[in-house]
Amino acid sequence: MNKKTLNSIVIAVLLTSNLILLGFIFFSKPPHPAMPKQVIIKKLGFDKTQTAEYFELTKSHHEAVMALESKIKEKKKELYSTLANANGNTNVDSLANAIGQIQTEIEHTHYKHFTEIKNLCRKEQLPAFNELSKELGDLFFRNRKKKK
């Protein structure tokens, strides 16, 4: 076997291995994580009626949180617009405190939402809810971080 044949075989093997690697990269997608709503429904074992009520709760909860996040956005615009002023530090503390108060309100809204979900549970579902409550922070934090 001469050098030309050996080089051709090496090139063919390398080309084939690269094509296989590219195939794995493009055609194998990581499993899509379950949406938190579906995880909650499954872990709590909600029936159709409970699921319908749960979706109504989540709809109103989402609207409330979006309204509060909109308020935070406005306060942040106000806060950062003070940078353009020569004496921009006059309202910084009050604006930062206002943002913090709205964030506190969001957390209270979340807590109330999960209390309402707990109230949807039947007596036999409460142990599952108590287990789920230990995972809620991670479940929603993980989902939010992946969206960014």
The answer to whether residues 64 and 126 belong to one domain is yes
Question: Which whole number is the average pLDDT over 33-53?
Answer: 89
Burial 80-101 (b: 16+ CB within 10 A, else e): eeeeeeeeeeeeeeebeebbee
Residue 33 pLDDT > 90: no
pLDDT at residue 89, as a whole number:
67
Phi-psi region of 109 (alpha: psi -120 to 50; beta: other; left: phi over 0): alpha
**Overall number of domains in the chain:** 2
Residue whose structure tokens are 């506190």: 104
Could you tell me the two tokens for 18?
């690269």
Within this chain, do residues 118 and 82 fall inside the same structural domain, yes or no? yes
Residues 25, 55 within the same domain = no
Q: Please indicate, yes or no, whether residues 44 and 20 belong to a single structural domain of this protein.
A: no
Is residue 111 domain-shared with residue 48, that is, in the same domain? yes
| 26 & 89 share domain | no
- Specify the amino acid at residue 76: K
Range of the domain at 3: 1-30
User: What integer pLDDT is reported at residue 83 of this predicted model?
Assistant: 85
Give per-residue pLDDT as tens, 94-146. Answer: 999 999 999 999 999 999 999 999 999 999 999 999 999 988 877 776 544 44
Give pLDDT, residue 88.
56
> Where is pLDDT greater, at 129 or 83?
129
Q: Percent of the chain having pLDDT more than 90? A: 56
Q: How much of the chain exceeds pLDDT 70, in percent? A: 87
Same domain assignment for residues 14 and 60: no
Q: What is the pLDDT of residue 141?
A: 66
2 DSSP 8-state letter: -
The pLDDT, as a whole number, for residue 4 is: 85
Virtual torsion, Cα 94, 100, 106, 112, nearest 10 deg: -100
pLDDT at 7 over 90: no
Q: Is the pTM of this model over 0.85?
A: no
Residues 11 and 53 in one domain: no
Residues 57 and 102 in one domain: yes
Rg, the chain, Cα only? 26
Q: How many CB atoms lie within 10 A of CB 132?
A: 19
Q: State the pLDDT at residue 143.
A: 46
- CA count, 13 A, side-chain hemisphere, 27: 6
